[in-house]
A and B are shown apart, each in its own frame.
Chain A
Amino acid sequence: MSGISKSFPGVKALRGVNLEVREGEVHAIVGENGAGKSTLMKILAGFYHPDEGTIEVGGKRIEAMSPREARDLGIGMIYQELNLVPDLTVAENIGLGAMPRRGPFVDYKALVALAESVLKELDADIDANMRLGNLSLSQQQLVEIAKVVARKPGIVVFDEPTSSLGEKETRILFNVIKRMRAAGIAVLYISHRLQEVMEIGDRVTVLRDGRNIETRDVAGITPDEMVRLMVGRELTEMFPKLDIPLGDVVLDVSTLSRAGEFDGITLDVRAGEIVGLAGLVGSGRTEVARAIFGLDPADTGEVKLRGKSVRIRRPHHAVAAGIALVPEDRKGQGIVPMLSVRENFTLPMIGRLTKAFLVRARRERALVQEFADRLKLNPPLIERALGSFSGGNQQKVVLGKWLLSKPSVLILDEPTRGVDVGAKADIHQIIGEFAEAGGAVLMISSELPELLAVCDRIFVLHEGVLAAEIPRADASEESVMRAATGQGVFA
């Protein structure tokens, strides 16, 4: 692949990436969240078409390919998310779309034989006749790999394949990859886990901000160097940090746990403080936030507000207690696109805006207009459907709707994702003003520079447990990344 560029509205995801994968090599790709890894892979899988650049497979130049064409070219994809049919057997899943047949019937003997041979090749101890849904997640992951291997691909892309695998399965997977390499298959291996990259990779390409920074032999690089290459970018945006005196502890979370997601999370946020919650995708950041807000209540643990224990089982408990959450998935959970800006704005607190059961329309309009102006909503038309605004302005409304209800704790999950630079600065200013007025902020972001610039303290999650608590003075991209990638703690 050479000179690949791809833009989405408001974001330039890839800027002229070059990547070359050789036969029989394991080529690792590392980078922060949002560095462009997944976009690159989706282009390779035929889901996106590049704006610029060319792809060559086996010396053949390819213009634009569909997912099916990509598969026919011998490109196999193994995603983090499983793409299997739980109600079919393992063998049927492996053969789906091209089942061997005898007469009008499925040739089960051949199908099972095929499945068993592939599973054996993978050294996976799985009964091909089992219903897929009855397998453990790590076994399902191996079936997913078997499905791809059964098609005899020339290039296999692994996207975070070990995120749901145990130690043993990871070993098996590495053996599989080594065998693929020996068989002359080109393997692209995307992972957050640098140790894995050191172990399995032959070469590694570091992506950052949609550019390939460097491609090196794994033998000639250390994990520390990789981290430095991943994060070492100049700041293109300004993050002003206000100097706010800290007050008492407002939010106090202790030993919060939810089976399979996070374990023993203890953290606190003071009045006027902005606390970061860092971690890689899948580390449990979002889950912790949702648990505090009562969307997916925690199994065990306690949440205290200003020293008083509160029981939060549903979002309106959280709202009543003064906690607000700006969710990560703006389109899915943040906005009601058909409703107007005004209606979205007042949604959480509309019950308090009434007189004799009726909404006080004039007061509502005035209140929302005032806030919209303060948030620099553009265009400032509060009666327009929110769905027709840009991502940044939608995000301002989501933020604003919570500020309107005057919470004491504001939890922000990726508040500036997919937002252009101007809106980003506005959003940071809003957050700063909230803290200045004595609010407590817990902020999740995949963008380390943002966290470093804005936060007073940063908690780092790694695989569902707290890996580090880093005060502002000691926080650097390296220290946070090391904790987030599970490489021990120093601060």
Chain B
Amino acid sequence: MSGVNLRTMGHLVVQYRLLAMLAAIAIFGGFTLDDFLTANTLRSILDRAAVVGFLALALTPLLIAGQIDLSIGSIMSMSAFTTIAMQPFAGSLPAAFIGLCVGIAAGLVNAAIVVVLKVNSLVATLATLLIYASLVLLVSNSQPVSSTDPMFGLPLTSTMLGIFTPRSMLFIGAALVMFVWLKATPSGRTLYAVGSNLSAAVSAGVNANAYIGGAFVLSGLLAGAAGVLQALSSATGSPLAGSVLLIPAITAVVIGGTRLEGGRGSSLATLGGVVAFGALTTLSEYNGVPSYTQAVYTGLILILLITLDKVASGGEGKTTRARRGARTTPTIKARNP
């Protein structure tokens, strides 16, 4: 049947998308640009990926738990602005800490709305997306602030060990820590259970609300971290810092292979997705592709991948339903004349 073929093909594309993308970018970049396949490019890709990377990491545990946070871009803007705006009053390091706290607070609000008020996370965080974004525009009077201590964040983007920068190392470190947490600790494993089969988790005595709420707070913290990093390394606190990064972050996560329906994914996959997406962005910029063209293919990739995911997983629902009437051995086959 053609449906089956389509499904297996979808499966293949879904499975190897990361490799395929990276290979395609490397080949295309190598051919079109002389100095693309260099350590320098890799350093630049990793460095640039750090901010979107933290946003993508913010989404990862939530998606695994079967939820979503659309407000991460706005949270990032709040944290970015706060980090710079607080510098004259609190000092640079405490200001960065306050920036993170803003992220946590925003995450707590999301958690409360979803877990206590039981509002669907898509709608809840859509509303807080707007609220947080407006809030930071109101406070900032829609104007970015410049850092009073521009030297403080400068080292974040300096070269380390050839291909890294402190910023990219923070991101990669965070991804690795999250990987260990998700894969090797009881709470990490339980998070998968909550997203994969909520009723099985609850019947095994898991407090699912605590896990979902916790994932929202963590998401706020990591989105805050993205904002702090972005603000410090650019020495500017823009109230719009994160507004255009939501879709790239979602796209990076989806490229990595984390499922939007929950239960599957890993932060290493997200790391891979972020790097692949970053490579694509860098390649585009080296080739002088305007940002709106990048938006076009970002959107295309996102839609294509979620559609393929849906096609590839289309069979799963049927097997579970089929088992109601499942049988193994046909017994007596007889009819009355």
Contact = CB atoms under 8 A, between A and B. Distances in A.
B193 A88 contact: yes
Contact of B325 (A87, A261, A467): A261
B334 A489 contact: yes
A137 interface: yes
A260 B333 CA distance: 16
Contact of A462 (B195, B205, B322, B331): B331
Chain A CB count within 10 A is highest, among B199, B200, B322, for B200
Interface residues of B, number: 36
B116 interface: no
Interface of B: 180, 184-186, 189-190, 192-193, 195-197, 199-201, 203-206, 263-264, 319, 322-336
A99 B263 contact: no
Contacts of A71: 205
Interface in A91-105: 92, 96-99, 101, 104-105
A306 B201 CA distance: 52
Contacts of B319: 137
Nearest to B320: A82
A425 interface: no
Nearest to A72: B205
Interface stretch (A160-168, A245-253, A380-388): A160-168
B332 A87 contact: no
A468 B192 CA distance: 47
B322 A260 contact: yes
Contacts, number: 125
Nearest to A263: B330
A467 B332 contact: yes
Contacts of A104: 185
A348 to B, nearest CB: 24
B325 A283 contact: yes
B324 A282 contact: yes
A445 to B, nearest CB: 17
Given A67-B203, A261-B322, A282-B325, A86 B334 contact: no
A434 to B, nearest CB: 26
Given A163-B326, A465-B330, A83 B200 contact: yes
B329 A167 contact: yes
B288 to A, nearest CB: 43
Contact of A464 (B201, B330, B334): B330
B331 A486 contact: yes
Contacts of A469: 335-336
Contact of B326 (A67, A164, A263): A164
Contacts of B328: 138, 164-167
A68 B266 CA distance: 31
Given A287-B325, A463-B329, 17 more contacts: A67-B203, A68-B205, A88-B192, A88-B193, A96-B190, A99-B186, A165-B328, A167-B328, A260-B322, A260-B323, A283-B325, A463-B331, A467-B331, A468-B336, A488-B332, A489-B336, A491-B336
B331 to A, nearest CB: 5
Closest 4 CB pairs of A and B: A97-B204, A166-B328, A463-B327, A87-B196
Contacts of B206: 96-97
A101 B335 CA distance: 59
A71 B190 CA distance: 19
Nearest to A486: B331
A106 to B, nearest CB: 5
B326 A85 contact: no
Contacts of A83: 197, 199-200, 203
A462 B325 CA distance: 10
A108 B334 CA distance: 52
Given A84-B200, A88-B193, A467-B332, A106 B185 contact: yes
A466 interface: yes
B321 to A, nearest CB: 8
A36 interface: no
A164 B189 CA distance: 28
Interface of A: 67-68, 71, 82-88, 92, 96-99, 101, 104-106, 108, 137-138, 163-167, 259-264, 282-284, 286-287, 462-471, 486, 488-489, 491
Contacts of A491: 336
A85 B197 contact: yes
Given A83-B203, A167-B328, A96 B193 contact: yes
B218 to A, nearest CB: 16
Contacts of A92: 189, 193
Contacts of B189: 88, 92, 96, 99, 106
B332 A489 contact: yes
B205 A87 contact: no
8 contacts: A87-B195, A87-B196, A96-B190, A97-B206, A105-B184, A164-B327, A282-B326, A286-B325
Contacts of A86: 196-197, 263
A284 B325 contact: yes
Give the residue among A82, A261, A264 with the most B Cβ atoms within 10 A: A261
Contacts of A283: 325
A84 B197 CA distance: 7
Contacts of B200: 83-85, 96
Contacts of A467: 331-334
Contacts of B193: 85, 87-88, 92, 96
Contacts of A68: 205
A166 B333 contact: no
A464 B180 CA distance: 47
Contacts of B186: 99, 101, 106
Contacts of A137: 319, 323, 326
A105 B333 CA distance: 54
A261 B201 CA distance: 29
A466 B325 CA distance: 14
A471 B336 CA distance: 9
Contacts of B263: 85-87
Nearest to B326: A164
Contact of B327 (A98, A101, A286, A464): A464
A471 B305 CA distance: 56
Contacts of B336: 468-471, 489, 491
A444 B184 CA distance: 50
Given A283-B325, A469-B335, A489-B332, A88 B199 contact: no
A106 B186 CA distance: 5
Given A260-B322, A491-B336, A88 B196 contact: yes
